[in-house]
Amino acid sequence: MGKKRVLSGIQPSGRLHIGNLVGALQNWVKLQDSYDCYYFIADWHALTSQYADTSRLKDYVKDVLVNCLAAGLDPEKTTIFAQSRVIEHAELHVLLSMVTPLSWLERVPTYKEKQTEVKDKDLNTYGFLGYPLLQSADILMYRAHYVPVGVDQMPHLEITREIGRRFNHFYGEVFPDPEGLLTEFPKVVGTDGRKMSKTYDNCIFLSDTPAEVEKKIRTMTTDPQRIKRTDKGDPDLSPVYHLHKIFSSKEEQGEVAEGCRTAGIGCIDCKKVLIKNLFEVLEPLWERRRHYLDRPDELEDIIESGSAKARTAAAATMQLVRKAIGLDRLR
């Protein structure tokens, strides 16, 4: 029996950080042995909000690709591609747009939220309204069974299922219902204790040098009430402890928590443990990053051969779609 198909995408809208690593990439890597995985760089999605300045787009696409490979995605097992290199996504998007009620797009929570939240960009565009529909095309195109994403993406999955069903209702069974695979990790906090996000300038980037990572941890906020070394602290109020829970062993978590509560250790000691553990995760990744960054031709070959495989899969779906609608050959 063939493996079930998994599909997910990531936007090249900035450099990837350790939140993307534990929230998405590590999970993608875990799935690659058990499923037929398609992972892609959603460059058109990045354009829906970053259309006015594309000067860094290519750098970000490269950063995503390098980090996917550095995190352990294996192009021999997994199809890694760029959305814009599989133009079938645009065709499916336009065909799905015919059956998509405007109100369905307008009521997607991220639509209004982002429009009010993002002040420095004009998101009153056709492309931005169509964001979830483009995502539906991405997912339905590969007739994916599972879509690993964070909770924030669940509304997009919901509308994908609704659109798939509506298509099937008009034209016959073409698309299976995709299911979300919720990523188990909570949001990773940034160096200031808020959610790690490029808009808050609190990220530890996968492209940071070891010295930069170390400095960011050393200057990170801790329990704000623990001012002097002799003050007792509450680990649960410290973003450093939050990162320990992700990167340190249970035993070390217990040790630093106890040391914090009793003022047995200082914040610098606690941070040193975190730095050691974080480096253990990042060092192999840094090494693979260097490998790929030194070989731009290899990167281009990987993304292009992945995109060629994706085009083959997409072309097969589009044949079914065109036939179902009546857009296939006259005879």
Residue among 5, 15, 17, 45 that touches ligand TRP (CB under 6 A)? 45
Binding mask 183-222 for ligand TRP (x = CB under 6 A): ----------------------------------------
71 and 25 Cβ atoms separated by less than 8 Å: yes
**Could you give the 3-state DSSP secondary structure of residue 221?**
coil
Q: Which two structure tokens, joined as six digits, stand for 235?
A: 């680990």
- Minimum Å gap between C-beta 259 and ligand TRP is 37
Which range binds ligand TRP by CB under 6 A, 64-72, 86-94, 134-142, 179-187? 134-142
Question: In 3D, which of 141, 40, 51 has the Cα closest to residue 84?
Answer: 40
Q: Which stretch binds ligand TRP (CB under 6 A): 6-14, 65-73, 117-125, 161-169?
A: 6-14
CB of 9 to ligand TRP, least distance (A): 3
Binding of ligand TRP by 138 (CB under 6 A): yes
Alpha helices in the chain (DSSP H): 18-20, 26-31, 43-49, 57-71, 88-98, 102-106, 109-117, 126-129, 131-141, 154-171, 210-218, 239-247, 250-261, 267-293, 296-325
Q: Give CA–CA dist 81/61, Å, rounded.
A: 11
Q: Which of these ranges, 132-140, 184-192, 300-308, 313-321, lies near ligand TRP under the rule CB under 6 A?
A: 132-140
**Residue 135 in the binding site for ligand TRP (CB under 6 A):** yes
Q: How far is the CB of 45 from ligand TRP (least distance, A)?
A: 5
- Give backbone dihedrals phi and psi of 80, rounded to 5 degrees, phi first: -110, 125
Count of residues that interact with ligand TRP, criterion CB under 6 A:
14
Footprint on residues 9-28 left by ligand TRP (CB under 6 A) = 9-11
CA Rg value for the chain: 22
Label the pairing between strands 146-149 and 79-82: unpaired
Q: Which among 3-11, 15-23, 232-240, 302-310 is the span making contact with ligand TRP, rule CB under 6 A?
A: 3-11
Residue 229 three-state SS = coil
Rounded to whole angstroms, the Cα distance separating 258 from 61 reads 43
Annotated catalytic residue 198: yes
Which listed range, 2-10, 26-34, 168-176, 323-331, lies at the site for ligand TRP (CB under 6 A)? 2-10
Can you tell me which of 48, 49, 78, 153 binds ligand TRP, judged by CB under 6 A?
153
Phi, psi of 166 (to 5 degrees): -65, -40
Residue 89 sits at φ, ψ, to 5 deg, of -60, -35
| Nearer Cβ to ligand TRP (153/248) | 153
Residue 197's nearest CA partner among 152, 131, 139 is: 152
- For residue 198, the minimal CB distance to ligand TRP (Å) is 13
Check if the beta carbon of residue 189 is closer than 8 Å to that of residue 195.
Answer: yes
For the bound state, the minimum distance from the C-beta of residue 11 to ligand TRP, rounded and expressed in Å, comes to 5
Can you tell me which of 22, 42, 46, 303 binds ligand TRP, judged by CB under 6 A? 42
Is residue 88 near ligand TRP by the rule CB under 6 A? no
90: alpha, beta or left? (left if phi > 0; alpha if psi -120 to 50): alpha
Is residue 216 part of the annotated active site? The answer reads no
Residues with catalytic annotation?
Answer: 114, 195, 198
* Interface residues toward ligand TRP, by CB under 6 A: 7-11, 42, 45, 135, 138-139, 147, 149, 153, 156
